[in-house]
Structure 1
Amino acid sequence: MVDPIDAEVQKHGADSIQRELFGTRIGFILAAVGSAVGLGNMWRFPYRVAEGGGAAFVVLYIILTLMIGIPLMLCEFSVGRRTRLSPIGAMRREGGGAWPLVGFLGVLTGFLILSYYSVIAGWVVRYGIEGILTGFAADPGARFNEITSGIAPIVYHVAFMALTITIVSVGVEKGIEKASLILMPVLFTIVIGLAIWAATLVGSGDGYSFYLAPSFSELLDPETLAEAGGQAFFSLSLGMGAMLTFASYLSRHENLNREATTIAASDFGVAFTAGLVVFPVIAALGLQSQVSASTVGALFIALPGAFAEMGSVGRFVGIAFFFALTVGAITSAVSLLEVVTASMIDEFKITRRPAAIGAGVLILLVGLIPATSLDALGLIDSITEWFLALGALGMTLFVGWRMKDPITEMVDGASGFFAQIVPTMLLFVKYVMPPIIGFVVFWSGRKAFTTLMTTLGGG
């Protein structure tokens, strides 16, 4: 499907002509939700909740999603749809000067995230396959060490990247949109079903208490605030150019504010529901200490151990859980690769297939580093969390202070409340969001530096 080029874009040149478009509104929403929903919801979110004091983190995450996440997503949408370009070209066209560096940072961040995200997705696929073939190991810690060492992580990383490249190379409507229309309803159904099942477990109440009863003293902890902000950027795919790129495939009649709200609400719904699975299961089996012990504790040690202890029922549930994770990982990985692919198409004027293959192979090669080193994986994760915050700050400043008449783009296609709130939201983007995001930049940068020093020091 091709968009009729509007006069504003056409007068800037022919590089936007024949821009691909999503075929349907629901296709765009599910693709964007698929970008947001993934391992960030089921791997990172439970760990961050445990590390951040439980419900206090959840409350801050909700607040920051409303205060920063939705307005920032609207900013990315407005830039992407107006320019019909990927991040670098979009910032060049609307801002000039050094602003394309903000776009480049987003592309680089997506590139680096996918390099280790694919490795973790490979672990997920292997756990699911082993659940089907042999069941879950009685000693999940030892099994995790085996799965993450040797040649196997590389093999699964390569296989996962090959699948991602295949989907992206097909195109926006026939590849990304079609995959999202099939996979996302499956993910929603499985996660909701697992949450209902988890509620039946004896002892699950302790998990709900930890997850849903906030300690208000934790709400004032600056580290919890910074971690919640970083998680919001990661989970909503903000600061990496994914939402900007997807919006460049949108028609002009779409209500950007409504879509941003829908996507953010859907993303939080999946993350929150995943917590209703993870914490009751872990509490029912007394495995709480394994969740906050490491970034992989909940997903790859505590939960497989729980599934193993539950016998045949646990095996079935575990297979369903890791299948849902695989679905989420695929849709998120597709969006990350699309950012890099679209940038190569726009910047080098090449066709989609060689761009997708070239970008995918480069990411695959870089991913060999985290595939063979958990320390490297943790370091890249910390650095990209800082990059996400920097990208979010850059986008906020760009739309608030540099972009010409952003309100016109934001309200185009909107009506009622969604149109009326935009001027107020823009004031928020200008004056309130920069200092909040700046704090997250400072905190995540300090954390990344500490992780770097620890990694270089060998401990």
Structure 2
Amino acid sequence: MTDPIDVEVQKHGEDSIQRELFGTRLGFILAAVGSAVGLGNMWRFPYRVAEGGGAAFVTLYIILTLCLGIPLMLCEFSVGRRTRLSPIGAMRREGGGAWPLVGFLGVLTGLLILSYYSVIAGWVVRYGIEGILHGFAADPGAYFEQVTTGVAPIVYHIAFMVLTITIVSVGVEKGIEKASLILMPVLFTIVIGLAVWAATLVGSGEGYSFYLAPSFEELLNPTTLAEAGGQAFFSLSLGMGAMLTFASYLSRHENLNREATTIAFSDFGVAFTAGLVVFPVIAALGLQSQVSASTVGALFIALPGAFVEMGTMGRVVGIAFFFALTVGAVTSAVSLLEVVTASMIDEFKITRRPAAIGAGTLILLVGLLPATSLDALGVIDSITEWFLAVGALCMTIFVGWRMKDPVAEMVDGASGFFAAVVPTMMLFVKFVMPPIIAFVVFWSGRNAFNTLVTTLTGGG
């Protein structure tokens, strides 16, 4: 059921500002799922799984998504819907003091992530076009080097950012929501179809075993725990203000608890299903070593090589796979740009179109660095993963200890089970989540520092 959401007017002293709202509940859910579902599910996830011991990482990722992801998303929803503002303004209004700096960190994180995310999305688009026009290269390693060097990655990065700016500049309902309503069902259909196809491959059983049978030794590995937490924040778009911003476009009668649960399960479903595509294919063709070699191994080297070995069917499957990746990249990029755009609208009181163009142009310029250097891309990726964890920790502390009566906001529009669990969940937010997320902050910060040092000293 997609009941229309009533337009609301937000009061700022003597000023009355009509804030854009999503036109339907389904539109909001698909937009939020689109923010969560993207390259994080199909680019980072397979590498993190391979590096983290396979099913052990998946198990921890599931636990952290349910125990940390849903409550944290609900925290962001409650702040965004109550204030009707983007991250900086929301933290200023609800917290005062230095809390707007947390909102600024979220905006900065979204800006930095999109600066390199757009570069990777450009690679994806080029692979898809190449698959359609010529098929996939016989030497995927050499082709990847060609894709990531020279002028081409800059051109594709610019083209992808122009597309993202265009969608965001149209508006919430006519741009973001409409794009999500069209693109997300397409992505779901393709990913499920690919998973069904992968199950038919001879030799895929080893991939399923690695992916689905956890090692208890790896479950106790602190690195695996920290990276699973970081992946959960990245994949669910938490800690950067994206969900807070989307919730600021919601009406009062929406059930925030239900929506957070729906979005988290949808995001996990796509990530998990993507693994059911990647690992059976990798195992069937004996390409396991290429997955764990680097963050790009599975997506841009191993899988294209697999598609070549499969002949005509591989080309068809490869085109579908990279098209699905492109769809996910667009929906996630739109949400990242919306965080920065909405903040510019609220802070500088300008209209949407110049805000989207200004924010997008700034991100485009920052992205020229990762577009010309894989080392720079890796450093920014590590630093922003740490930023996400810091943002998540700050949001948990803010809602748990600073925000006035967050329970009232969370239960507004909820009923039954969803309303009943909120008081208990808030105890979890106050006392259990901060130390767990603090551990992720420490570990991801250490990883970011090591990555930076290795790159600067020429070891990366």
TM class by smaller structure: over 0.9
Helix, strand or coil at the partner of 2:17: coil
Report the CA distance shift for 1:134/1:101 in structure 2 as closer, same or farther (over 3 A). Answer: same
CA shift digits 1:120-145 (9 cap, x unpaired): 00000000000000001111011100
Cα separation, 2, equivalents of 1:88 and 1:26: 27
Report the CA distance shift for 1:16/1:219 in structure 2 as closer, same or farther (over 3 A). Answer: farther
Partner of 1:409: 409
For the 8 Å contact 1:9–1:83, the answer to whether it is kept is: no
For the 8 Å contact 1:230–1:388, the answer to whether it is kept is: yes
For the 8 Å contact 1:230–1:385, the answer to whether it is kept is: yes
Cα separation, 1, equivalents of 2:44 and 2:14: 42
1:400 Cα deviation from its structure 2 partner: 0.2
For the 8 Å contact 1:53–1:218, the answer to whether it is kept is: yes
For the 8 Å contact 1:9–1:82, the answer to whether it is kept is: no
For the 8 Å contact 2:91–2:99, the answer to whether it is kept is: yes
Report the CA distance shift for 1:91/1:8 in structure 2 as closer, same or farther (over 3 A). Answer: farther
CA shift digits 1:235-288 (9 cap, x unpaired): 000000000000000000000000000000000000000000000000000000
Aligned residues: 459
Cα separation, 1, equivalents of 2:429 and 2:370: 36
For the 8 Å contact 2:9–2:19, the answer to whether it is kept is: no
Report the CA distance shift for 1:190/1:5 in structure 2 as closer, same or farther (over 3 A). Answer: closer
Helix, strand or coil at the partner of 2:320: helix
Cα separation, 2, equivalents of 1:453 and 1:328: 32
Report the CA distance shift for 1:247/1:7 in structure 2 as closer, same or farther (over 3 A). Answer: closer
CA shift digits 1:348-369 (9 cap, x unpaired): 0000000000000000000000
1:108 Cα deviation from its structure 2 partner: 0.2
1:2 Cα deviation from its structure 2 partner: 17
For the 8 Å contact 2:157–2:371, the answer to whether it is kept is: yes
Cα separation, 1, equivalents of 2:3 and 2:272: 36
For the 8 Å contact 2:5–2:25, the answer to whether it is kept is: no
Point out where structure 1 has 5 or more consecutive residues left out of the alignment.
none
For the 8 Å contact 1:3–1:18, the answer to whether it is kept is: no
Helix, strand or coil at the partner of 2:193: helix
Cα separation, 1, equivalents of 2:153 and 2:79: 38
* Range with bigger deviation, 16-25 or 296-305: 16-25
Report the CA distance shift for 1:423/1:220 in structure 2 as closer, same or farther (over 3 A). Answer: same
Q: TM-score, normalised by structure 2?
A: 0.98
For the 8 Å contact 1:3–1:21, the answer to whether it is kept is: no
CA shift digits 1:182-227 (9 cap, x unpaired): 0000000000000000000000000000000000111100000000
CA shift digits 1:60-119 (9 cap, x unpaired): 001001110000000000000000000000000000000001000000000000000000
Cα separation, 1, equivalents of 2:398 and 2:15: 22
For the 8 Å contact 2:382–2:447, the answer to whether it is kept is: yes
Cα separation, 2, equivalents of 1:305 and 1:266: 29
Helix, strand or coil at the partner of 2:62: helix
Helix, strand or coil at the partner of 2:273: helix
Helix, strand or coil at the partner of 1:338: helix
1:5 Cα deviation from its structure 2 partner: 13
Report the CA distance shift for 1:403/1:374 in structure 2 as closer, same or farther (over 3 A). Answer: same
Helix, strand or coil at the partner of 1:155: helix
For the 8 Å contact 1:34–1:332, the answer to whether it is kept is: yes
Report the CA distance shift for 1:319/1:175 in structure 2 as closer, same or farther (over 3 A). Answer: same
Helix, strand or coil at the partner of 2:367: helix
CA shift digits 1:352-398 (9 cap, x unpaired): 00000000000000000000000000000000000000000000000
1:16 Cα deviation from its structure 2 partner: 6.5
Matches within 5 A, 1:118-267: 118-267=118-267
Helix, strand or coil at the partner of 1:452: helix
1:17 Cα deviation from its structure 2 partner: 2.1
Correspondence 1:273 to 2:276: no
Report the CA distance shift for 1:273/1:103 in structure 2 as closer, same or farther (over 3 A). Answer: same
Helix, strand or coil at the partner of 1:11: strand
CA shift digits 1:402-433 (9 cap, x unpaired): 00000000000000000000001100000000
Cα separation, 2, equivalents of 1:106 and 1:3: 31
1:10 Cα deviation from its structure 2 partner: 5.1
Report the CA distance shift for 1:12/1:353 in structure 2 as closer, same or farther (over 3 A). Answer: closer
For the 8 Å contact 2:396–2:433, the answer to whether it is kept is: yes
Q: TM-score, normalised by structure 1?
A: 0.98
1:6 Cα deviation from its structure 2 partner: 12
Report the CA distance shift for 1:159/1:129 in structure 2 as closer, same or farther (over 3 A). Answer: same
Report the CA distance shift for 1:37/1:149 in structure 2 as closer, same or farther (over 3 A). Answer: same
Helix, strand or coil at the partner of 1:17: strand
Cα separation, 1, equivalents of 2:389 and 2:110: 13
For the 8 Å contact 1:198–1:281, the answer to whether it is kept is: yes
Cα separation, 2, equivalents of 1:187 and 1:2: 20
For the 8 Å contact 2:386–2:448, the answer to whether it is kept is: yes
Cα separation, 1, equivalents of 2:281 and 2:321: 12
Cα separation, 1, equivalents of 2:55 and 2:2: 46
Helix, strand or coil at the partner of 2:9: helix
Helix, strand or coil at the partner of 1:7: coil
For the 8 Å contact 1:191–1:274, the answer to whether it is kept is: yes
Point out where structure 2 has 5 or more consecutive residues left out of the alignment.
none
For the 8 Å contact 2:7–2:21, the answer to whether it is kept is: no
Report the CA distance shift for 1:195/1:100 in structure 2 as closer, same or farther (over 3 A). Answer: same
1:13 Cα deviation from its structure 2 partner: 2.7
For the 8 Å contact 1:86–1:346, the answer to whether it is kept is: yes
Cα separation, 1, equivalents of 2:5 and 2:173: 18
Helix, strand or coil at the partner of 2:413: coil
* Range with bigger deviation, 14-23 or 120-129: 14-23
For the 8 Å contact 2:57–2:224, the answer to whether it is kept is: yes
1:8 Cα deviation from its structure 2 partner: 12
Cα separation, 2, equivalents of 1:102 and 1:280: 41
Cα separation, 2, equivalents of 1:270 and 1:332: 14
Cα separation, 2, equivalents of 1:137 and 1:214: 35
* Range with bigger deviation, 287-296 or 14-23: 14-23
Cα separation, 1, equivalents of 2:7 and 2:448: 44
For the 8 Å contact 1:32–1:263, the answer to whether it is kept is: yes
Report the CA distance shift for 1:444/1:16 in structure 2 as closer, same or farther (over 3 A). Answer: farther
1:458 Cα deviation from its structure 2 partner: 5.0
Matches within 5 A, 1:58-137: 58-137=58-137
For the 8 Å contact 1:2–1:21, the answer to whether it is kept is: no
For the 8 Å contact 2:4–2:25, the answer to whether it is kept is: no
